[in-house]
Amino acid sequence: PLVLGIETSCDETGVGIVRGHELLADAVASSVDEHARFGGVVPEVASRAHLEAMVPTIERACETAGVRLHDVDAIAVTSGPGLAGALLVGVAAAKALSVGLGKPLYGVNHLAAHVAVDQLEHGPLPEPCLALLVSGGHSSLLRVGDVTGDVDPLGSTIDDAAGEAFDKVARLLGLPFPGGPHIDRAAREGNTVAIDFPRGLTSRRDLERHRFDFSFSGLKTAVARWVEARERSGEPVPVHDVAASFQEAVCDVLVRKALDAATSQGVDDLLIGGGVAANSRLRVMAEERAASRGIRVRVPRPGLCTDNGAMVAALGAEMVARNRPASALDLPADSSLPVTEVLV
Ligand code: ATP
Ligand code: MG
Ligand code: FE
């Protein structure tokens, strides 16, 4: 099926077009520059930017894909989770297209879409698989029996999300927002063992209760204390070493717990998705450690890890292919949609 997907859960206006597992267009307009000076996404600014970018981004996607809107078989849209006002813009646009074109509407879960997008690059998802979902707002380990309806959380962060930790530590180091890519770059020239930062929820006692959960706020505080101590002593802060050591601590815990979860579930395939999956160290570390345990790792290319419309179209196409019922026209925008609710 030819599916157009619309994503507006945060600050990216994404419109993707896919034919089955084939990616035809992935147009993204980001308002990130408008938020940068505030050090975080400003919801009202994001909503207005989506409104302005929506029609041009749809047009750009159709042009790139070489299709007309009338050729599309179905419309998919992120119905949650995300910023309420931002989601509403995408959902309203998708409803208008659905009614105007007389094509079915599929409301999809943004988190499941971060997993489903990998099909565009590596073909059908192995099911069941273990998914490590790491993004700006979420950090979870999921057992995915069926990406269109059977997603089971094994654990998640008990405080900050991994992406949030990257963004906060970047800020401490004076790097621009969003900080993930900047830390990634700075870390390449740093020493990963320069500073021994804590690995959250990995002590034997914590593992009893939180085997597959994450915690990054203690790590963030440890980095803040370390940087403050340096500044007090008047010595320069070695940004590259702090970035590399911090990134190593995050990736170490993510990979360790993801591989343990896969092993405990008897699953041989690990999929990593969400914005933090774009991290170069995470990708290499996962690949290296998984190989010795006979686990295969799949990670979409970096451009498909951060928010985009193609991921929504990919999950929508899967819904169509598996004969999932279309959504009702009063489909809500649900800012706190849980990952278990894939069918909306
Ligand atoms: P969610 O998907 O939970 O709703 P979101 O959609 O805002 O949150 P994504 O776009 O999936 O989040 O991911 C954005 C996050 O990914 C930001 O925190 C950003 O810093 C982080 N990120 C992006 N690239 C990298 C990278 N190379 N290394 C580390 N983090 C990165
Ligand atoms: Mg973003
Ligand atoms: Fe996201």
* DSSP-assigned letter for residue 31: -
- The alpha carbon of 259 and the centre of ligand 3 are apart by a number of angstroms equal to 22
- Ligand 1: does its nearest atom lie under 6 Å from the Cβ of 138? yes
Ligand 2 ion local residues (Cβ < 5 A): 10-12
- Ligand 1: does its nearest atom lie under 6 Å from the Cβ of 9? yes
DSSP letter string, 129-147: EEEEEE-SS-EEEEEEEET
Determine which residue's CA is closest to atom 13 belonging to ligand 1: 275
d(CA 195, CA 273): 28
Tell me the mean pLDDT per 10 residues along the chain, length 344.
Answer: 98 98 98 91 97 98 98 98 98 98 98 98 97 98 96 98 98 96 98 98 97 98 98 96 98 98 98 98 98 97 98 98 96 95 79
d(CA 225, CA 220): 9
Burial of 144 (0-12, 13-18, 19+ CB in 10 A): buried
Q: Give the pLDDT confidence of 220-272 residue by residue, as tens digits.
A: 999 999 999 999 999 999 999 999 999 999 999 999 999 999 999 999 999 99
Q: Give the pLDDT confidence of 62-103 residue by residue, as tens digits.
A: 999 999 999 999 999 999 999 999 999 999 999 999 999 999
So what's the ipTM on this one?
0.98
- Name 106's Cβ contacts closer than 8 Å, sequence gap at least 6: 3, 74, 75, 76, 77, 315, 316, 319, 320, 324, 326, 327, 344
- Ligand 1: does its nearest atom lie under 6 Å from the Cβ of 300? no
